[in-house]
């Protein structure tokens, strides 16, 4: 596998950092965002380190997005969301904060505005694990 020493997502893949995983296979992982825009906000990543969409092989990008679709269905069902935002940012100018390709799957509710990054608060893993378990049964 291709890892970057200072990448938090690479550390999560290697089990060197905590996470609330809802899906994992040999090449893709999905886990809850520790600073969620909404309860159930999930990140889908390739296990290998690629900075963005321009770096990742197309076949692997397709698998990441296939998993993102399955996760979106599970999140919507588990959390009774009215909709799902799927977001993937590339580069500092696009507000990418962690430079390991990731797809945000965010449950959305009617009448709700998207929170700004400054409004997001860190959740503890006990809370995240409860949410992750709700989603896992729907995958």
Q: What percent of the chain lies above the pLDDT cut of 90?
A: 91
Is the CA virtual torsion 18, 24, 36, 65 positive or negative? positive
Under the phi-then-psi rule, with left for phi > 0, alpha for psi from -120 to 50, and beta for the rest, what region is 91? left
Instruction: Give the global pTM.
Output: 0.95
Catalytic amino acids?
A: 102
Query: For residues 104 and 34, is the Cβ–Cβ distance under 8 A?
Result: no
Query: For residues 53 and 101, is the Cβ–Cβ distance under 8 A?
Result: yes
Distance CA 106, CA 129 (A): 17
- Checking if the pLDDT of 126 tops 90, the result is yes
């Amino acid at each position: 596998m291709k890892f970057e020493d200072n990448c938090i997502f690479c550390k999560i893949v290697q089990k060197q950092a905590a996470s609330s995983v809802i899906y994992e296979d040999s090449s893709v992982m999905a886990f809850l965002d520790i600073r969620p825009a909404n309860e159930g906000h999930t990140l889908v990543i390739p296990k290998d380190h690629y900075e963005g969409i321009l770096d990742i092989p197309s076949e692997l990008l397709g698998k990441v997005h296939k998993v993102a679709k399955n996760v979106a269905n599970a999140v919507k069902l588990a959390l009774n969301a009215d909709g799902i935002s799927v977001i993937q940012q590339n580069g500092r100018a696009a507000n990418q904060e962690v430079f390991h390709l990731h797809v945000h799957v965010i449950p959305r509710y009617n009448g709700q505005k998207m929170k700004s990054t400054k409004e997001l608060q860190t959740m503890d893993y006990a809370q995240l694990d409860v949410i992750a378990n709700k989603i896992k049964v729907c995958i």
